[in-house]
Amino acid sequence: MKIFAHRGYSHKYPEMTRVAYQAAIEAGADGFECDVRLTKDKKVICFHDANTKRITGNYKLVSRLTAQELINDADALTLKELLVMAIDSKKDLLIETKHPVLSSGAIEKKTIDLINQHKDEIERAGIEVVIISFSYLAVRRVRRSGITAAKVIRYGLGAIISRSRFIALNITTLKRYPFLIKVIKADRIYVWTVNSKEDLRWLKNREIYGVITDRPKRASRILKK
């Protein structure tokens, strides 16, 4: 079972910062997870919220700021920087494209282009880069490009009817309906966001491909014993 550091080691460090991802490496994570949005200057930035209020205390829309402004104000990383970090450290990467957004599928296009630009380096590093999203249309765009995609699913029915080969499922839903592991048709299941000792131990011997967690050190200690 692979361990993916959710926004880096975000339980202990500021989310999606270089220090959070570096700490995830040291904690034994097998991969990184991040969220991405487009900036005013059309750069792909690692940022979860549509605005900066929760991170900086000041309300500004991410889509109306340049990448450099977000780097200065929120210590943000560009996806290119994180991708290079993943390649150098040989860590898999899950990239969630955020929707709905006014720019529609532009975020997928830019993300796909960036992955393709680094295709040879990704292959040499032996890592896997997967684009994930709650949006069916986003997942379809990614599949058509030839990049691996996974559908993020919040509810049990969605998991049952999904035709996606790879899915990411909420831990709360999975614990409520554990039979889903046996009945869903997906080849691969990622589970998010798994932080408590109880939930990690519950998942340990189940047929799960990857755990997405804020606490990669705890997850490594429990799941890799």
Residue 63 class from Cβ within 10 Å (0-12 exposed, 13-18 middle, 19+ buried)? Answer: middle
The domain limits of the chain are: 2-223
Beta strands in the chain (DSSP E): 2-6, 31-38, 44-46, 92-97, 129-133, 149-153, 166-170, 188-192, 210-213
Q: State pLDDT tens for residues 77-106.
A: 999 999 999 999 999 999 999 999 999 999
User: DSSP class of residue 126?
Assistant: T
What is the CATH architecture of 2-223? Alpha-Beta Barrel (3.20)
> What's the pLDDT score for residue 225?
79
Q: State pLDDT tens for residues 38-51.
A: 999 999 999 999 99
Q: What is the distance between the alpha carbons of residues 79 and 143, in angstroms, rounded to a whole number?
A: 20
Residues in the chain: 225
pTM for the structure as a whole: 0.97
pLDDT tens track of the chain, all 225 residues? 999 999 999 999 999 999 999 999 999 999 999 999 999 999 999 999 999 999 999 999 999 999 999 999 999 999 999 999 999 999 999 999 999 999 999 999 999 999 999 999 999 999 999 999 999 999 999 999 999 999 999 999 999 999 999 999 999 999 999 999 999 999 999 999 999 999 999 999 999 999 999 999 999 999 997
